[in-house]
């Protein structure tokens, strides 16, 4: 069987590797416009911050290395045409000055084209010194430019924006983050929990401006400042971290059905055209709580989808599940994450909810180094947990995972308070903060019931 | 309502605090032989190691502090008699030289007598310099004695034994651990996983002798050595960490039914005598996997049981669940834990199992400070996960909790591999080691099926 995978990110390459796992003989070709494959785009901010030494460290494989598994990776190659009646694609190698058209046949095609940064349509957005942060090349360029800069404005207070802001701050720049809505990370956290993260950023010396849109980028030859709301902020460097749009042009052109957000796929990760699959940031997923279509632009989601697509392509059967968007981030010493719906998003979706909250510690209170931990649990009026947010200086990720499992298994707060959690003074409290937040949620539910 | 609670450990005091939460008016008396209450016995080894500065730090409340919540705590008091027909107890204050008998009435009685260290019946076990490690007083005495010692033998390689061995090593002593069976922590880990912990202890300079029993303690006025198997080991200090036996004498004397291991209780934590409850190390619990009676001498279990007992005493309804014994420990930099059954214990119980294993990392592999993590997952032949063991230098506790939830919710390894886990390079791998171990388990099951 011949498989062509368009896109060399987490979704594309994981699909390739997984197909090889289930089918020793398949002829697998990955074709990508990028020069580098198999790197971790989420790690770019950590190279800026200096936590990871250099960009080469985050490239995990060279294209040639895939040949060991008999996977061909064509880099700097552009797909011109998919002839779906003939099951073949036409492409050119971008270094080929004659633009010689090449062909490749497939039995199965996988679209893993990812997303592309969205840049708000403002004056000056194309000035030198204005960057998006999406590929490793962006990272190289930003670092180089930042080395000769004193001031930076990051537009957008999503995870990538904040991580990048912190990285630039660590490089020694004065950093301002501007965000359109009135809180940071609005998709991830409710305002009260987001405030904890904002406090940390401000303590680290990053200024945050909320509730104002970017009006223009100022400068003549290169960027000199940014107008956010009525304020003009000096900037030698601007990062547009204003979101990623699914890259669906090719799929649309081929005739794959699009949904509200991106490419529609069934549970097998197959598009509306039989034999053509799609995975990663370019596809639409189903929200496990609302049942509505949504996006899940996470490396972990792409890798999970890749496994499902690969199994189905290899003739086995696997079903993608609705997503909860279990997410974690670490900025400096602060770890925070969430899974399921925030209270805000739940209400927006017409779901009546209560929330339980608890501030506690990550270790026994007498144990040196215990850190503050804040947990917020969102439950529907039947007590079913539908979301959880956690902010602390350690041990957040695995608690998010525990809650992802709890939500997936439809656990109620009443059930959770009786669940077993492990305990040892250097690593936990005798009653876990998650349990304490669930107890608080139970009390709230009881008050409503009375 | 008048409640008397006999025992001032985690079970007894949590019962008191919880009853107060649900019943503002109850007259609550806690009566205990100990001088200190509300301290964390699991933390004693960390005072020896120096991680916690002194014993006073691990005492969380003074008896008087309970008066704020209108809970009377009688310390150094001994119960002489329970007159269950008259619903009253007779006790003396141990400091009262006249041994004046006092009486106290109850509507509900709670037995929270905990456990007592078991000392193997060998010659010399009563010599000076031989200690058990159970109360904070033991801790004081051990530290004082260790300060003038050079060599120590710890008999018993359970968690308390190993933690104490490490504490003594950190105090500068030469330490040997002797264990009867052929592996350390046999209740917690399978031999292969236990070996990882043993390697760490040996790297830290602790000698471990397996598969040999203690024959005698040698010495004239005070301990001078220990004979383990045929070998005589020099020792100025000996710790008998050879297990805890449930303290059931009082319950038996009153006429409460005992089970195979300890006091029998129903789902409400009530003994065979109506109105008399029991919680903590002195009660028998049901194993969630085998359905058989077992023990769960964990602070976290005691606290959970206390909540159940308190709710029922306060006229609400709550049911104790069978236990999985979710356990975690930290020795030096090594964290390890387990939940459910080991492969060894499963086989011993006649359950056919397979196990999936994975060695991976705790962060993205390019991220500085990533630690090795080993996960072993035990599944029955239907794929249901019935146990999990984890050893790593960080982030074990919460993974144990995730697996406790997975096991409680009867998740199979096939289901787990499609579960969502959060990801960010500084805190996790894009595919969690738990998922990788579950994938390995799925492969093993498939091999069997084929």
> Is the predicted pLDDT of residue A450 greater than 80, yes or no?
no
Instruction: Check CB contact under 8 Å for B401 and A405.
Output: no
> Is the predicted pLDDT of residue A39 greater than 90, yes or no?
no
Using a cut of 0.90, tell me whether the model's pTM lies above it. Answer: yes
**Does residue A330 sit at the B interface (CB-CB below 8 Å)?**
yes
pLDDT tens string A79-102: 999 999 999 999 999 999 999 999
**Does residue B268 sit at the A interface (CB-CB below 8 Å)?**
no
- What is the rounded average pLDDT of the residues B193-206? 98
- Nearest-Cα distance to chain B for A102, in Å, is 35
Looking at residue A37, its pLDDT comes to: 87
- What is the rounded average pLDDT of the residues A273-295? 97
- What is the rounded average pLDDT of the residues B197-202? 98
What is the average pLDDT value for chain A, to the nearest integer?
96
- What is the rounded average pLDDT of the residues B217-225? 96
CB contact residues (below 8 A), chain B span 22-51, against chain A: 40, 42-43, 46, 51
Looking at residue A282, its pLDDT comes to: 98
- Nearest-Cα distance to chain A for B287, in Å, is 13
- Nearest-Cα distance to chain B for A339, in Å, is 8
Instruction: Check CB contact under 8 Å for B335 and A427.
Output: yes
Positions of A annotated as catalytic residues are 42
Q: C-alpha angle with apex A385: A383 to A386, nearest 5 degrees?
A: 125
User: Number of Cβ pairs closer than 8 Å across A and B?
Assistant: 202
Contact A339, A387 (CB under 8 A): yes
Could you give the ipTM of this predicted complex? Answer: 0.93
- What is the rounded average pLDDT of the residues B367-372? 95
Closest in B60, B335, B427 to A330, CB measured: B427
pLDDT tens string A343-371: 999 999 999 999 999 999 999 999 999 99
- What is the rounded average pLDDT of the residues B370-398? 97
Determine the topology of domain B119-242 in CATH.
FAD/NAD(P)-binding domain (3.50.50)
Q: Do A2-42+57-116+245-313 and A119-242 fold alike per CATH?
A: yes
CB contact residues (below 8 A), chain B span 53-82, against chain A: 53, 57-58, 60
Contacts of B274 (CB under 8 A, 6+ apart): none
Closest in B10, B303, B418 to A304, CB measured: B418
Contacts of B157 (CB under 8 A, 6+ apart): B177, B178, B179, B183, B184, B185, B208, B210
> Is the predicted pLDDT of residue A390 greater than 90, yes or no?
yes
Looking at residue B41, its pLDDT comes to: 87
> Is the predicted pLDDT of residue A74 greater than 90, yes or no?
yes
Q: C-alpha A354: how far from its chain's center?
A: 27
* Tokens (6 digits) for B301: 């279990």
Q: Which residue in chain A is spatially nearest to B411 when comparing CA positions?
A: A409
Contacts of B377 (CB under 8 A, 6+ apart): B355, B356, B357, B385, B387, B388, B403, B413, B434, B437, B438, B440, B441
> Is the predicted pLDDT of residue B137 greater than 80, yes or no?
yes
- Nearest-Cα distance to chain B for A186, in Å, is 18
Q: What percent of chain A has pLDDT over 70?
A: 100
Contact B322, B408 (CB under 8 A): no
Of the candidates B196, B148, B210, which has an alpha carbon nearest to the alpha carbon of residue B173? B148
Q: Is the dihedral of CA A103, A106, A111, A112 positive or negative?
A: negative
Give the Cα separation of A146 and A235 in Å (integer): 11
> Is the predicted pLDDT of residue B119 greater than 90, yes or no?
yes
- Nearest-Cα distance to chain B for A138, in Å, is 19
- What is the rounded average pLDDT of the residues B15-39? 94
Determine the topology of domain B327-449 in CATH.
FAD/NAD(P)-binding domain (3.50.50)
Give the Cα separation of B163 and A270 in Å (integer): 53
Instruction: Check CB contact under 8 Å for A421 and B432.
Output: no
Looking at residue A40, its pLDDT comes to: 86
pLDDT tens string A152-193: 999 999 999 999 999 999 999 999 999 999 999 999 999 999
Looking at residue A119, its pLDDT comes to: 94
pLDDT tens string A421-445: 999 999 999 999 999 999 999 999 9
Contacts of A7 (CB under 8 A, 6+ apart): A30, A31, A32, A110, A111, A112, A113, A114, A280, A282
Looking at residue A449, its pLDDT comes to: 81
- Give the confidence band of B323 by pLDDT, cuts at 50, 70, 90: very high
Looking at residue B48, its pLDDT comes to: 96
A333 contact residues in B (CB cutoff 8 A): none
Determine the topology of domain B2-38+57-116+245-313 in CATH.
FAD/NAD(P)-binding domain (3.50.50)
pLDDT tens string B104-117: 999 999 999 999 99
Give the Cα separation of A234 and A237 in Å (integer): 9
Q: Which residue in chain A is spatially nearest to B368 when comparing CA positions?
A: A52
Instruction: Check CB contact under 8 Å for B366 and A43.
Output: yes
Of the candidates A447, A346, A328, A347, which has an alpha carbon nearest to the alpha carbon of residue A390? A328
pLDDT tens string B163-193: 999 999 999 999 999 999 999 999 999 999 9
Give the Cα separation of B122 and B104 in Å (integer): 41
Contact B252, B258 (CB under 8 A): yes
Looking at residue A38, its pLDDT comes to: 81
pLDDT tens string B407-436: 999 999 999 999 999 999 999 999 999 999
Instruction: Check CB contact under 8 Å for B366 and A430.
Output: no
**Does residue B1 sit at the A interface (CB-CB below 8 Å)?**
no
- What is the rounded average pLDDT of the residues B282-309? 96
B409 contact residues in A (CB cutoff 8 A): 405, 409, 411
Q: How many helices (H) and strands (E) does chain A have?
A: 11, 25
> Is the predicted pLDDT of residue B450 greater than 80, yes or no?
no
Three-state SS letters, B209-260: ECCCCEEEEEECCEEEEEEECCEEEECCEEEECCCEEECCHHHHHHCCCECC
Please state the CATH superfamily assignment of the domain spanning residues A2-42+57-116+245-313 in this structure. FAD/NAD(P)-binding domain (3.50.50.60)
- Give the confidence band of A61 by pLDDT, cuts at 50, 70, 90: confident
Instruction: Check CB contact under 8 Å for A427 and B366.
Output: no
B423 contact residues in A (CB cutoff 8 A): 42, 298-300, 328
Give the Cα separation of A371 and B160 in Å (integer): 25
**Does residue B197 sit at the A interface (CB-CB below 8 Å)?**
no
Q: Which residue has the higher pLDDT, A377 or B41?
A: A377
- Nearest-Cα distance to chain A for B273, in Å, is 25
Looking at residue B61, its pLDDT comes to: 87
Domain ranges of chain A: 2-42+57-116+245-313, 119-242, 327-449
Looking at residue B39, its pLDDT comes to: 86
Contact A38, B365 (CB under 8 A): no
pLDDT tens string A217-268: 999 999 999 999 999 999 999 999 999 999 999 999 999 999 999 999 999 9
* Tokens (6 digits) for B40: 């964390």
Closest in A406, A422, A426 to B400, CB measured: A422
């Amino acid at each position: 069987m011949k498989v062509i995978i368009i896109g060399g990110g987490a979704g594309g390459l994981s699909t390739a590797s997984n197909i090889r796992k289930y089918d020793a003989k398949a002829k697998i070709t990955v074709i990508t416009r990028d020069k580098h494959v198999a790197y971790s785009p989420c790690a770019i901010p950590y190279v800026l911050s200096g936590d990871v030494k250099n960009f080469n460290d985050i490239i995990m494989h060279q294209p040639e290395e895939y040949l060991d598994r008999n996977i061909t990776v064509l880099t700097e190659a552009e797909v011109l045409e998919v002839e779906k009646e003939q099951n073949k694609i036409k492409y050119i190698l971008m270094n080929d000055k004659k633009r010689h058209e090449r062909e490749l046949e497939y039995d199965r095609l996988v679209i893993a084209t990812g997303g592309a940064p969205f840049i708000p349509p403002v004056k000056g957005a194309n000035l030198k010194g204005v960057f998006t942060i999406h590929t490793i090349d962006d990272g190289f360029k930003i670092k180089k430019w930042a080395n000769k800069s004193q001031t930076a404005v990051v537009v957008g207070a999503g995870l990538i924006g904040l991580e990048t802001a912190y990285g630039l701050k660590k490089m020694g720049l004065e950093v301002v983050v501007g965000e359109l809505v009135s809180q940071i990370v609005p998709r991830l956290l409710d305002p009260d929990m987001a405030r904890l993260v904002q406090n940390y950023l401000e303590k680290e010396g990053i200024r945050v401006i909320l509730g104002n849109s970017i009006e223009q980028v100022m400068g003549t030859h290169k960027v000199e400042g940014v107008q956010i709301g009525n304020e003009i902020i000096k900037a030698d460097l601007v990062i547009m971290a204003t979101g990623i749009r699914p890259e669906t042009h090719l799929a649309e052109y081929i005739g794959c059905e699009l949904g509200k957000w991106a490419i529609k796929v069934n549970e097998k990760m197959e598009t509306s055209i039989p034999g053509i699959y799609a995975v990663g940031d370019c596809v639409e997923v189903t929200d496990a709580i609302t049942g509505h279509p949504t996006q899940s632009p996470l490396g972990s989601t792409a890798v999970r989808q890749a496994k499902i697509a690969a199994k189905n392509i290899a003739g086995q059967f696997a079903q993608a599940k609705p997503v909860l968007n279990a997410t974690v981030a670490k900025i400096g010493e602060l770890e925070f994450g969430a899974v399921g719906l925030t209270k805000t998003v739940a209400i927006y979706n017409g779901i009546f909810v209560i929330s339980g909250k608890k501030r506690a510690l990550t270790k026994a209170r007498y144990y040196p180094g215990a850190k503050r931990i804040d947990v917020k649990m969102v439950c529907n009026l039947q007590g079913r947990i539908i979301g959880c947010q956690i902010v602390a200086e350690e041990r957040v990720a695995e608690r998010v995972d525990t809650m992802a499992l709890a939500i997936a298994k439809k656990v109620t707060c009443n059930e959770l308070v009786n669940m077993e959690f492990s305990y040892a003074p250097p690593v936990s409290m005798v009653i876990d903060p998650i349990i304490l937040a669930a107890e608080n949620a139970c009390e709230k539910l009881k008050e409503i019931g009375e």
